């Protein structure tokens, strides 16, 4: 991508989009196009059409999506499938029709089968049933991936599809009802520390294993692939290592500095037993992560304390 290219980053205020904007700016890209949700509702086809007609972005990074943790996915499946299908359909189609040079689509590791062989290779997609608690979201993301593939096959529209593992970092969602596991734990432990609570209850058994990638590393991979990769098929982006949810809890508790007791509520769902990405493909292309997990968690908590702690009640 030329340094002066018009690059539209959809979802620039979120965890992923904000990291990609920081990365692009640090790499010298100065002609970035952004819109807040209030300024542009990506589920509104007419609004998206007007935006592309006016701005004519040369590159599109589609980081906008409705996302959430196990509770939100399980409680609001209609919202997750409708909004994500609408966002993807509107943006990908408009980008093609307005002659965008290349688009980056962001999927999720949850698109893989619940009991996929570990670590999960890109070719295990659609080889088994999905995790029921986030099936609606996963199906929407699979549809977005297939839309990119189909527009390449039929029209030659260039795209890159990233399948990131579990992400964390600055600008994450720390809402206890709708957040992912790491920021939810961080918020719970922080609140317990502030109140002087001696005990925190967490969902599940703590035995599932998860892989975590810092959002800044994902942004690095996104820019790398936009500049160095030409293939409509998906590419896993992760670290290639995982931890148990109990180990995650200990790491987050240590970063927060709370010394109370963790109680595990095994009546709550665990979700998929394990989700570890096979990252041999992206390694072979020349990219690897650079932020180690414990360092990233500590830095994320520092950002949370400085930017979010006083605003949450």
13 is an annotated ligand-binding site residue: yes
Q: What residues does 8 pair with on adjacent strands? A: 33, 60
108 is in an annotated binding site: yes
Q: Are 213 and 237 in contact (CB under 8 A)?
A: yes
Smallest CA-to-CA distance from 113 within 122, 101, 104 is with 122
270 is in an annotated binding site: yes
CA pair distance 142, 248, nearest whole angstrom:
28
Instruction: Of 261, 242, 239, give the one whose Cα is nearest residue 250.
Output: 261
258 is in an annotated binding site: no
Structure tokens, 213: 């990638």
Residue 106, annotated as binding a ligand: yes
Q: Are 311 and 202 in contact (CB under 8 A)?
A: no
Tell me if 313 is assigned to a ligand binding site: no
User: What's the gap between Cα 213 and its chain centre?
Assistant: 9
Closest of 231, 242, 244 to residue 282, by C-alpha: 231
Q: What is the DSSP string of 75-138?
A: H-HHHHHHHHHHHHHHHHHHHHHTT-SEEEEE--GGGS-TT--SSBPGGGTTSSPPPGGGHHHH
Q: Is 141 annotated as a binding residue?
A: yes
The answer to whether 11 is a known ligand-binding residue is yes
Q: Does 190 belong to an annotated binding site?
A: no
Determine if residue 287 is labeled as part of a ligand binding site. Answer: no
User: According to the annotation, is 260 in a ligand binding site?
Assistant: no
251 among annotated binding-site residues: no
Is 228 annotated in a binding site? The answer is no
**Active-site residue set:** 137
Other C-beta atoms within 10 Å of 101: how many? 16
Neighbours of 266 (CB within 10 A): 11
Binding site feature residues for substrate: 188, 203, 210, 270
Binding site feature residues for NADP(+): 11-17, 106-109, 141, 164-167, 180
Binding site feature residues: 11-17, 106-109, 141, 164-167, 180, 188, 203, 210, 270
């Amino acid at each position: 991508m030329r340094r002066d290219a018009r690059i539209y980053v959809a979802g620039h205020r979120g965890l992923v989009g904000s990291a990609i904007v920081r990365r692009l700016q640090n790499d010298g890209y100065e002609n970035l196009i952004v819109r807040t949700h209030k300024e542009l509702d990506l589920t509104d086809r007419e609004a998206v059409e007007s935006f592309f007609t006016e701005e004519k972005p040369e590159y599109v990074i589609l980081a906008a999506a409705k996302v959430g943790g196990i509770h939100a996915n399980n409680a609001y499946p209609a919202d997750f499938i409708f909004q994500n299908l609408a966002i993807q359909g509107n943006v990908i189609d408009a980008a093609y029709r307005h002659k965008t040079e290349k688009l980056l689509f962001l999927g999720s590791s949850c698109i893989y089968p619940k009991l996929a062989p570990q670590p999960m290779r890109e070719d295990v997609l659609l080889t088994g049933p999905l995790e029921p608690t986030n099936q609606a979201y996963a199906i929407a993301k699979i549809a977005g991936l297939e839309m990119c593939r189909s527009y390449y096959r039929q029209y030659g529209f260039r795209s890159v599809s990233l399948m990131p593992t579990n992400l964390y970092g600055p600008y994450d969602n720390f809402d206890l009802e709708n957040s992912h596991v790491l920021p939810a734990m961080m918020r719970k432990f922080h609140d317990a520390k502030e109140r002087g609570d001696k005990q925190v209850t967490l969902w599940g058994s703590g035995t599932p294993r998860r892989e975590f990638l810092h959002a800044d590393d994902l942004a690095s991979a996104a820019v790398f692939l936009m500049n160095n990769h030409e293939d409509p098929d998906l590419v896993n982006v992760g670290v290639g290592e995982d931890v148990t949810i109990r180990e995650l809890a200990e790491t987050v508790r240590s970063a927060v500095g709370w010394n109370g007791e963790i109680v595990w509520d095994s009546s709550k769902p665990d979700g998929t037993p394990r989700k570890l990405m096979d990252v041999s493909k992206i390694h072979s292309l020349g990219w690897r992560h650079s932020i180690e997990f414990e360092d990233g968690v500590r830095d994320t908590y520092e950002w949370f304390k400085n930017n979010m702690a006083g605003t949450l009640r």
